[in-house]
């Protein structure tokens, strides 16, 4: 992909992000932050790319693997704690019925 089209992607992605969150009830600030934070662990894809392209370069494989570990720590932990937090709200609602 050319650099210019990547810039377009960046611009449109940012605009999308700005639009997605309008009014958020304060209740959800912490879960939302934690969920968005888990998504930022998408950099695991970059780590994967690095490992696949390393072609037997051991230091690069190690760096990629460590990077992948950090990213997955972020992703798995992030989604998990968000779910734990949100589970409390939904349990409340189902009790009601």
User: Counting contacts by CB under 8 A, is residue 97 touching another protein?
Assistant: no
Inter-CA distances, 40 with 18, 64, 69, 84, Å:
15, 17, 14, 19
User: Counting contacts by CB under 8 A, is residue 94 touching another protein?
Assistant: no
Question: CA nearest 45: which of 30, 27, 64?
Answer: 64
CB of 20 to another protein, least distance (A): 5
User: Counting contacts by CB under 8 A, is residue 37 touching another protein?
Assistant: yes
Start-to-end Cα distance in the chain:
52
User: Counting contacts by CB under 8 A, is residue 24 touching another protein?
Assistant: yes
Window 42-61: residues binding another protein (CB under 8 A) = 42-57, 59-61
């Amino acid at each position: 992909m050319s650099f210019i089209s990547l810039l377009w992607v960046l611009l449109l992605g940012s605009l999308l992000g700005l639009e997605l969150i309008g009014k958020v009830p304060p209740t959800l600030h912490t879960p939302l932050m934690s969920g968005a934070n888990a998504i930022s662990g998408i950099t695991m894809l970059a780590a994967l790319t690095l490992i696949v392209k390393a072609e037997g370069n051991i230091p690069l494989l190690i760096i990629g693997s460590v990077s992948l570990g950090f990213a997955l720590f972020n992703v798995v932990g992030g989604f998990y704690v968000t779910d734990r937090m949100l589970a409390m709200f939904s349990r409340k609602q189902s009790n009601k019925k």
